[in-house]
Structure 1
Amino acid sequence: MIAIEHLTRRYGTQLAVSDVSFTCTPGTVTGFLGPNGAGKSTTMRALCGLATPTSGTATIGGRAYRDLPNAGRHVGVLLDAGAQHGGRTSREVLTLSAMVLGVDRRRVDQVLEQVGLAGAPAGKRVGKYSLGMRQRLGLANALLGDPQVLVLDEPANGLDPAGIYWMRGLLRDFADRGGTVLLSSHLLHEVEAVADQLVVIAGGRIAARGSKAELLAGTGTLVRGLEPGRLAAALADAGIRAVPRPDGALVAEAGAEAVGRATAAAGVVLLELRDADGGGLEDLFRTLTQEPGGAPAPTPAAPRPLATQATEVRS
């Protein structure tokens, strides 16, 4: 099981994530969502021992990644598909990993077959691979140690539609056999198709977490006014956060009674007031990660350069 508890990470004076808490249980795929710079990568790096929490903890099976014996046999990690030696073949890359992990080298052929790189692609240098093929190799490396947990950051990036469908089946099968998957992706439709649990982060803080069924059941109160500007102002004055929809309506994060009272007090004429329909993950994401008026939620400053972080990890 993955457990993130009150995780905070600062880079100097800059706050990357603040008091982040959620869990990923065996047998589930957890979709970890948020806009660029929201704190997803920082959280996943802290989980995988590449960033030290300023406070709080990030554990796998109750232990920090650095404390796991032969961590690759417990956790498969794919954070950057480009971080592979371009001069080696995929078979060579996986054979070296197998030697480090202490797994039978026959496992190399098994995972090459599993990710669709068996045969000629296995002898091709990684530098000649497309991004989608690099993603497949990254997944093969993550699966090589037969782990119980997968931590994947944008694993579908570069995959064609058939590849995305394949990856969805692979992750679903992994979870159905008792595995734990933490999946970060901007492909919301694919996350919606495969995830059991959802965690949404915005501005370095958790905006929502829960089962997919709970979070997609509804997204607030839909309200439409004769004068949209006055309607938005009335909700803001009442302290009600609202996100505009493309059709001109607003989705307010409050019940219909609260919205109705706020608009009545301001003398705003309403044309529509009802519970918002569950509009799918895309609507939920937009509602949770935008400020009133439609601007993206503010995000913390970017982490320090990788070279600086690498120095910290080695210390």
Structure 2
Amino acid sequence: MIAIEHLSKRYGGHPAVDDVSFTCAPGTVTGFLGPNGAGKSTTLRVLCGLAAPTRGTATVGGRRYRDLPNPGREVGVLLDAAAQHPGRTGREALTLAATVLGVDRGRVAELLDHVGLDGTAARKRVGAYSLGMRQRLGLAGALLGDPRVLVLDEPANGLDPEGIFWMRGLLRGFADRGGTVLLSSHLLREVEAVADRLVVIAGGRVVAQGAMDELLADTGVRVRARDRAALERALTAAGIGFGPADGDAVIAAADAGAVGEATSRAGVPLLELQPAGGAGLEDLFRSLTSAGPHGPAGGTVGEVRA
């Protein structure tokens, strides 16, 4: 179990993460989504003991990462596939990690084969690896200690379509065997294909979280007016978040009644007002994280929950 509770992290006067709370249960893949600079990497760094929180806690099984007796045997981490010694071969890098963790070296060959780094690739120096090969080696390192939790930041970067499909099966299989996966990625379709739950962060705060199917079934309403600028002003004045949809419509993060009242009060006639359910993860993401005059999602940070 991963538990992030009222986590805040400031760098000087800048709040990178502000009162973030969510949990990741065993047997699930949680997609952790947000635009660049939203606070995803900071949250993961605090969780993995690479940064100290200003306030709040981030624990695995009720303990901070740094308090785990042998963290790599409990939590598999891949935050930066490029952070590997370029002068070592893939086999050497994994063998050294096995020695540090106290893992049987026989597991090295098993995992190299599992992630698709055959004998030739295993003998190459990491500096000669493509990004996709480094990702595979990083995933092998994360799995090396046979952990019960995986924390992954953009693990699909550099993978070709076949590699992404392979990774999807790996993560789904890990969770189905009772493992816990926290997956940060900008590849929304891949997250949609593998995740059970979503946590969406924008401006350092959680703007939505819940089961994938519940969130996608309630993505707000699709709204269209002849005067889009007037529509956006009406939504902003009412504190309703919105993001772009196809054509000249917007997806508003509120129910139809609230949107109808806001636009009627502002004297904005509507051409379309209907549920946006089933619009997909991309539309949900845009509606929750698009920057408006009052911050992400037009000022509705923290209001959309499932």
TM-score (norm 1): 0.91
Determine the structure 2 residue equivalent to 1:162. Answer: 162
Deviations 1:89-131 (A, max 9, x none): 1110011111111111001011101100121111111111000
Task: Give the corresponding residue for 2:21.
Answer: 21
Is the aligned partner of 1:219 residue 2:238?
no
Is the contact between residue 244 and residue 294 of structure 1 (CA under 8 Å) also seen in structure 2? no
SS at match of 1:189: helix
Is 1:102 matched up with 2:102?
yes
The answer to whether the aligner puts 1:92 opposite 2:92 as a matched pair is: yes
Q: 1:187 is matched with which residue?
A: 187
| Count of equivalent residues | 298
The structural deviation recorded for 1:265 is: 2.6
1:293 Cα deviation after fit: 7.4
User: Which residue does the alignment assign to 1:132?
Assistant: 132
Q: Percent identity at matched positions?
A: 71
Q: Within 1, Cα distance between the matches of 2:242 and 2:74?
A: 43
**Cα drift, residue 239 of structure 1:** 2.8
Between the aligned partners of 2:238 and 2:148, the Cα distance in structure 1 is: 48
Distance in 2 of aligned mates of 1:14 and 1:38: 12
- Deviation of 1:294 (Å): 12
Question: Which structure 1 residue ranges, 4+ long, deviate > 4 Å from structure 2?
Answer: 293-298
Provide the C-alpha distance between the structure 2 equivalents of 1:87 and 1:260, rounded to a whole number of angstroms.
62
- Tell me by how many angstroms 1:254 deviates: 2.0
Tell me how far apart the structure 2 counterparts of residues 48 and 238 of structure 1 sit (CA, whole Å): 39
Pairwise CA distance, 1:271: 1.1
| SS of match in other structure, 1:216 | helix
| Change in CA separation of 1:7 and 1:295 when aligned onto 2, cut-off 3 Å | closer
Deviation for aligned residue 1:13: 1.4
Q: Which has the higher contact order (CA 8 A, sep 6+)?
A: 1
Query: What is the CA-CA distance between 1:132 and the residue it aligns to?
Result: 0.2
Give the whole-Å Cα distance in 1 for the aligned partners of 2:255 and 2:129.
Answer: 52
Deviates more, 1:140-149 or 1:255-264: 255-264
AA partner of residue 186 (structure 1)? H
Q: Hey, what does 1:265 align to over in structure 2?
A: 265
Counterpart for residue 39 of structure 2: 39
What residue is the counterpart of 2:301 in the other structure? none
CA gap 1:51/1:209 in 2 versus in 1, 3 angstroms? same
Match in the other structure for 2:302: none
1:59 & 1:295 partners in 2: Cα distance?
A: 29
Q: CA RMSD in A?
A: 1.6
In 2, are the aligned partners of 1:244 and 1:293 still within 8 Å (CA)?
Answer: no
Deviation at 1:261, TM superposition (A): 2.2
- Which residue in 1 is equivalent to 2:247? 247
- Structure 1 residue 219 displacement after superposition: 1.2
Gaps of 5+ in 2: 299-306
